[in-house]
Structure 1
Amino acid sequence: MTERITGGCKCGLVRYAGTRLDVPMFRCHCRDCQHLTGSGHSEMMPLVRDSFEISSACKTYEMLGGSGNPTFSGFCPNCGAQLTRRSSLMDDRIYVHASSLDDPRKYNPEKSIYQESAQSWDATSVVGQT
């Protein structure tokens, strides 16, 4: 069964929809996610990139990830909400921030990544490390 996922930003300017990719949802503690979210981690749900549609108003910030390859962060230019993350290394998927889901109950983290970068003040529970 194909699960359709929808979401958007706080102000409603940017909306998205896509199909859930059958790979683990995860909590990321990397420094990029910390900087982009203003918190100790991000909560990410993978979607099939070829199924993904997003409002043209979404802005994208390109940067170099820890691997040295380009990564892309999508956000609302009006309210600043973080919406998407994408890596040139895994071009078949796009990750949406769980907080942007219309129904956040669909998010269930299955693992944590970059746990070695986790901040001591971030009290999130550790889900299976990679």
Structure 2
Amino acid sequence: MSYTGRCACGSVTLVITGAPITARQCWCRQCQQVAGGGPTHNVMFRTDEVTFAGTLLTNSYTAASGNTIVQSFCPACGTPIMGQSSARPQFRMVRLGAIDLPHDIRPQVAAWTDDAPAWAVIDPALEQHPGQAPPPQNLS
């Protein structure tokens, strides 16, 4: 499997040469702020299977999980590109909106649902976790 992607202005591009490990919605407050109110949609890939071209700016913070999260975005247009957790440096969480269409990736899990606003609509078909979701089973 392979995917390509880009930010809204095209200054940052990406090539992904592997299959997604999981795709998740995150409703934590930090992700809601990054996403403008809703959840972020993140696709986990192995770090060595994701290549970026162009300049990325980063912001890091300590998440409610206690992990350090580094979020990367395009400095020209602000498009969120990816996140990385100190808990799993061997993986990158690429923002679903940065991956070119068409693709068949869709969220499987909704995490931090207790942080979702009262008006949030969370697909009942998704595996749901009130806080941090456990690591995917297939991380070997």
Aligned CA distance change for structure 1 residues 119 and 80 (closer, same or farther; 3 Å)? same
Aligned CA distance change for structure 1 residues 19 and 32 (closer, same or farther; 3 Å)? farther
Number of residue pairs aligned between Structure 1 and Structure 2? 128
Aligned CA distance change for structure 1 residues 19 and 119 (closer, same or farther; 3 Å)? farther
Q: How does 1:1-130 map to 2 (within 5 A)?
A: 3-103=1-101, 105-126=103-124, 127-130=126-129
Q: CA deviation at 1:22?
A: 4.8
> Could you list the runs of 5+ residues in structure 2 that have no partner in the other structure?
130-140
Aligned CA distance change for structure 1 residues 95 and 46 (closer, same or farther; 3 Å)? same
> Could you list the runs of 5+ residues in structure 1 that have no partner in the other structure?
none
> Alpha carbon RMSD of aligned pairs, Å?
1.6
Alignment check: 8 A CA contact 2:11 2:54 kept? no
- What do the CA deviations read for 1:56-86 (whole angstroms, capped 9, x no partner)? 4111111111122311101000110111011
- What do the CA deviations read for 1:4-35 (whole angstroms, capped 9, x no partner)? 12111000000111234553211111111101
**TM-score normalized by structure 2?**
0.83
Aligned CA distance change for structure 1 residues 89 and 57 (closer, same or farther; 3 Å)? same
Q: Which piece of structure 1 moves more, 105-114 or 13-22? A: 13-22
Q: Could you say what secondary structure the match of 1:73 adopts?
A: strand
**TM-score normalized by structure 1?**
0.88
Q: Aligned residues: percent identity?
A: 26
Paired with 1:128 and 1:73, the residues of 2 have a C-alpha distance of: 24
Q: Which piece of structure 1 moves more, 8-17 or 104-113? A: 104-113
Q: Output the amino acid matched with 2:77.
A: C
